[in-house]
Structure 1
Amino acid sequence: MRTLTTTEELAEFCRRARNEAYVTIDTEFLRERTYYSKLCLIQMALPGEDDSDAVLVDVIAGDISLEPLFELFRDTGVVKVFHAARQDLEIFFVEGGVIPDPLFDTQVAAMVCGFGEQAGYETLVRKIAKTSLDKTSRFTDWSRRPLTDAQKTYALADVTHLRVIYEKLAAELQRTGRTAWVQEELGTLTDPETYIMRPEDAWKRIKTRSGAPRFLAVVRELARFREAHAQAEDMPRNRILKDDALLELASTRPKTMSDLSKSRLLLREARKGAIAEGILQAVETGVTCPPEDLPQTGKERDRGPVDQGLADLLRVLLKAKAEKEAVAQKLIATSADLDDIASGRRDLRALSGWRHEVFGRDALRLCAGEIALSSNGKSVEIVELSPA
C-alpha cells in the first residue's frame, strides 16, 4: 500500500484523480482533547478493483500541503464520495475553507435506497460489497507514528470498499429516479453555515426541559461563554462545562465563587480562574437580560396545540409510506415533524420537495379530512372520502 508524505506526491495523485469519474475519500482524526479535530490521515481511492489505485496521505509524518486536494475538491468534473461525511467535511472546511463539489454521501444514499436509518459503513460493506471489515484498529491512536500495517489496512478498507458501494447505490438511484432526492438531502452538508460554530447560537444545541425565557437566557449566555472559550483555547466543550452542569448553573444562578463551590456537577477546573469568572459573568448577563432580548424556543414560538389523534394517524401513514417506498422513516419526517403538522404548521421540510410527493401530499389530505386510513390485515390503505 502506498503512503504519500509530500505535496508533490499528493499533487500527482490528485492530477490522476481529475481524469476519473469519482474518487472515494475518508479521514482518521482525533478530537478527544481539542475543540477542532486533529487530522491524522486521509485515505483516497480511484475507481478499480484492488489497492493499486488507493493511497494513504500522512499529514503528520510528512511535510505536506493539502492545497492539491482542495483543488480536486473544487473540480466539478469529479464526484467526491464519502460515507457519513459531516465530520470529514468540517475538517476540510476548517483547514481549507472548501467543501467538495459535487459530493456523494453513501450513508444518505443508503437511506434513500432502503437500507434503514443511518446505515453504518460496516453494514453496507457486508450487504453491498459482500465482504467484512477487520475492526481491530477502529479505536487506535491515529496520531502515533509509525502506523502499523494493521492500521494501514484498516484505513485503506474505508475507501476501497466504498467504490463498489458508491457504484451500486448510484446505479440504484438512477434506476429509481431518486438521484435528485439525494442531492436535495446533501444541501445541509454542502452549506458552509453547517460548519460555522457561532457562540451566540450554541445554546440551541442543548436539550432543556424548561422553556422559561429567563432560564433560557442564562443557558444561552453560559453556552456562549463555553463555546467562545473552547474555540479560543482549542479544548473540548465538556472539558470546560458539561451540559448537565450548565443546566444546573442556569437553575441555581450562582453569584459568587462560594456559590460555585456548591455545585454538584461542576468540574474542579471550572471552580476557579478564568472559567469560574466567565461562568459568573454569563449568569449575571442572563439574569439581567432585558425582557425584549429573552430567547424563545422554536416550539413555543411556532407550534400550537397538537391534535394527538391526528398525530397518531400521521404516524401510521408515515410508516406505510416509508415501507412502500423503501425509505427510512426519519429521513421523510421526524416525530416532532408529525406533531408540528398535527398542530397546523405547514412550513416544514417534510411537506416540501421529494417528501411532498412521497408523504406530504397525503399527510395534508389526511389533515383536511379528504382521505382516511384502512387496514386490510397486511397493510394500510388510503381510502378516498367523498366531499360532505
Structure 2
Amino acid sequence: MRTLTTTEDLAAFCKEAHGQPYVTVDTEFLRERTYYSKLCLVQLALPGEGDENAVLVDPLANDMSLEPLYDLFRDTSIVKVFHAARQDLEIFWVEAKVFPEPLFDTQVAAMVCGFGEQAGYETLVRKIARASVDKSSRFTDWSRRPLSEAQKKYALADVTHLRGIYEYLDAELKKTNRSRWVAEELQTLTNPATYEIEPEEAWKRVKTRTNSARFLAIVQALAAFREGYAQSNNIPRNRVFKDDALVELASAKPRSASDLGGLRLLQREARRGAIADGILAAVERGVTCPPDKMPKPDRAREKLQVNPALADLLRVLLKSKTESSGVAAKLMATSSELDQIAAGERDVPALSGWRHEVFGADALRLCEGKIGLAAKGQSVVVVEL
C-alpha cells in the first residue's frame, strides 16, 4: 500500500492518472469537534486490479499540497467516481473552491439502477463486486499518525472495490439510456449553494411550534449569531448552544446575564463571555426588529387543498412505476411532492426532467382523469379511460 506524503509524489500519481478513463476517490475526515470537516486522508485508485494502482494521500504531511489533485479534478477528460459524494465535495469546495468534473456518484447511480434507496457502499461491494468490507476501522481518529495497517487497508478498500462498482453501474446506465438521469441528479451536488450556509438563513433549520412573527425574528437573530460564531471559531454549532436552548432563549427573551443564569437548557459555557454577549445582542435585535423585516413562515403547505383520494392514487402509481422501472421511489417523488400534485401544484420536481418521463406524465394524466389504475396479478397497471 503506497502512502503519498509529498506534493511531488502526488503530482507524479496525478500525471499517471491523466489519460485514464476514470479515477475513484474517497476521503476520511473528522468533524466532531469542528464546524468544517478536517480532511485527514484521500484515497485514489486508477483502473486495474488489486492495490497496485491505488494510493493513500496524506494531506496532514508537512510537504503536502493538494493542488495536483485539484488540477486532476479540473481535467474534464477523466471521470471522478465517488460513493455518496456530498460530504467529500463539501470538503473540496470549502478547501479549494473546486468540484470534480465530470462527477459520478455510485450511490445515486445505484438508486437509478434498482438497488433501492441510498444503497450503502458495503451493500454494493457485496452485490456487485462479490466481496466483503472489513468495517472494524470505521470509527477511528483519522488525524492520528502513524496510521495502522488495518486503517490503511480499510481506507484503500473504499476506492479499490469502487472501480468494479462504477464499471458495472456505468454499463447498466448506458444499456438503459439512463446516464442523463444521473447527470441531472448530480447538478445539485456541484452547486456551491448546496454547501454555503448563510447565517441569516440558518433559522429555517430550527424546528419551532409557533409561527409568531416576533418569535421567529428572535429565532432568526439567535440562529444567525450561532452560525456566524460557529463558522468564525470553527466549532460545531451545537457547541455554541443547541436548538432546544435556542427555542428557550427565543421564548424567555433574556435581557441580562442574570436572566441567562435562570435558563434551564443553556450550557454553562454560553452563560458568560462572548457567547453570552452575542445571545443578548441577538435577542435585542429580534425584539426590536421592525415588522416589515420579520421573517415570514412558510405557509405554503398549510394552504394546500390536498385531495386525499387523489394523493392515495398517486402513491399507488408511484409504487407501480418504481416496480416497473427499478428506480427508488424516494428518488422519483417525495410524499410532499405527491400532496402538492394532488393539490394542483405543477411546479414540482417530480413533474420535470427524467422524472416526467418515468412518473410525471402519467401522474398528470391520472389527475386529469385520462388514465386509471387496475390490479393485474401481483402488479398495478395503468389503463386508458
3-state SS, counterpart of residue 188 of structure 1: helix
Where does residue 198 of structure 2 map in the other structure? 198
Mapping for residues 100-119 of structure 1, pairs under 5 Å: 100-119=100-119
Question: When the two structures are superposed, what TM-score results if normalisation uses the length of structure 1?
Answer: 0.96
Task: Note the C-alpha offset of 1:326.
Answer: 0.6
**One-letter identity of the residue aligned with 1:250:** A
Once residues 73 and 297 of structure 1 are traced to their aligned partners in structure 2, the CA distance between those partners, rounded to angstroms, is 40
Once residues 290 and 306 of structure 2 are traced to their aligned partners in structure 1, the CA distance between those partners, rounded to angstroms, is 31
Mapping for residues 136-147 of structure 1, pairs under 5 Å: 136-147=136-147
Q: Deviations over 1:109-129 (max 9, x none)?
A: 011111111111111111111
Task: Note the C-alpha offset of 1:303.
Answer: 4.7
Once residues 127 and 86 of structure 1 are traced to their aligned partners in structure 2, the CA distance between those partners, rounded to angstroms, is 23
**One-letter identity of the residue aligned with 1:181:** W
**One-letter identity of the residue aligned with 1:307:** N
Once residues 272 and 326 of structure 1 are traced to their aligned partners in structure 2, the CA distance between those partners, rounded to angstroms, is 56
Where does residue 158 of structure 1 map in the other structure? 158
Once residues 30 and 249 of structure 1 are traced to their aligned partners in structure 2, the CA distance between those partners, rounded to angstroms, is 30
3-state SS, counterpart of residue 189 of structure 2: coil
Moved over 6 A (4+): none
Bigger shift: residues 168-177 or 188-197: 188-197
CA contact (8 A) 1:230 1:236 kept: yes
CA contact (8 A) 1:43 1:55 kept: yes
CA contact (8 A) 1:84 1:106 kept: yes
Once residues 294 and 312 of structure 2 are traced to their aligned partners in structure 1, the CA distance between those partners, rounded to angstroms, is 34
Task: Note the C-alpha offset of 1:19.
Answer: 1.4
Q: Deviations over 1:312-336 (max 9, x none)?
A: 2211111111111111111011111
Mapping for residues 210-249 of structure 1, pairs under 5 Å: 210-249=210-249
Task: Note the C-alpha offset of 1:202.
Answer: 1.3
Where does residue 168 of structure 2 map in the other structure? 168
Residues 352 and 91 of structure 1: is their aligned pair in 2 closer, same or farther, counting only changes over 3 Å?
same
**One-letter identity of the residue aligned with 1:368:** E
Task: Note the C-alpha offset of 1:254.
Answer: 2.4
Once residues 321 and 209 of structure 2 are traced to their aligned partners in structure 1, the CA distance between those partners, rounded to angstroms, is 32
Once residues 348 and 259 of structure 2 are traced to their aligned partners in structure 1, the CA distance between those partners, rounded to angstroms, is 44
Task: Note the C-alpha offset of 1:372.
Answer: 2.2
Where does residue 72 of structure 1 map in the other structure? 72
Task: Note the C-alpha offset of 1:381.
Answer: 1.9
Question: When the two structures are superposed, what TM-score results if normalisation uses the length of structure 2?
Answer: 0.96
Residues 261 and 372 of structure 1: is their aligned pair in 2 closer, same or farther, counting only changes over 3 Å?
farther
Once residues 92 and 227 of structure 1 are traced to their aligned partners in structure 2, the CA distance between those partners, rounded to angstroms, is 21
Where does residue 96 of structure 1 map in the other structure? 96
Task: Note the C-alpha offset of 1:302.
Answer: 8.5
Where does residue 30 of structure 1 map in the other structure? 30
Task: Note the C-alpha offset of 1:361.
Answer: 1.1
Residues 99 and 247 of structure 1: is their aligned pair in 2 closer, same or farther, counting only changes over 3 Å?
same
Residues 115 and 301 of structure 1: is their aligned pair in 2 closer, same or farther, counting only changes over 3 Å?
closer
Task: Note the C-alpha offset of 1:378.
Answer: 1.5
Where does residue 47 of structure 1 map in the other structure? 47
CA contact (8 A) 1:303 1:343 kept: no
Residues 259 and 375 of structure 1: is their aligned pair in 2 closer, same or farther, counting only changes over 3 Å?
farther
Bigger shift: residues 48-57 or 287-296: 287-296
3-state SS, counterpart of residue 161 of structure 1: helix
Residues 254 and 372 of structure 1: is their aligned pair in 2 closer, same or farther, counting only changes over 3 Å?
farther
Where does residue 120 of structure 2 map in the other structure? 120
Q: Deviations over 1:7-63 (max 9, x none)?
A: 000001001111100000000110111111111110000000110000000111341
**One-letter identity of the residue aligned with 2:97:** G
Once residues 300 and 294 of structure 1 are traced to their aligned partners in structure 2, the CA distance between those partners, rounded to angstroms, is 18
**One-letter identity of the residue aligned with 1:187:** Q
Task: Note the C-alpha offset of 1:205.
Answer: 2.4
Query: Could you list the runs of 5+ residues in structure 2 that have no partner in the other structure?
Result: none
Residues 3 and 229 of structure 1: is their aligned pair in 2 closer, same or farther, counting only changes over 3 Å?
same
Mapping for residues 1-388 of structure 1, pairs under 5 Å: 1-300=1-300, 303-385=303-385
Once residues 41 and 153 of structure 2 are traced to their aligned partners in structure 1, the CA distance between those partners, rounded to angstroms, is 13
Once residues 321 and 214 of structure 1 are traced to their aligned partners in structure 2, the CA distance between those partners, rounded to angstroms, is 45
3-state SS, counterpart of residue 51 of structure 1: coil
Bigger shift: residues 304-313 or 114-123: 304-313
CA contact (8 A) 1:303 1:340 kept: no
Bigger shift: residues 202-211 or 106-115: 202-211
Q: Deviations over 1:67-117 (max 9, x none)?
A: 100100000000000011111111111111100100000011011111111
Once residues 253 and 114 of structure 1 are traced to their aligned partners in structure 2, the CA distance between those partners, rounded to angstroms, is 51
Bigger shift: residues 362-371 or 168-177: 362-371
**One-letter identity of the residue aligned with 1:220:** Q
Query: Could you list the runs of 5+ residues in structure 1 that have no partner in the other structure?
Result: none
Residues 100 and 210 of structure 1: is their aligned pair in 2 closer, same or farther, counting only changes over 3 Å?
same
CA contact (8 A) 1:61 1:145 kept: no
Once residues 237 and 268 of structure 2 are traced to their aligned partners in structure 1, the CA distance between those partners, rounded to angstroms, is 15
Residues 269 and 158 of structure 1: is their aligned pair in 2 closer, same or farther, counting only changes over 3 Å?
same
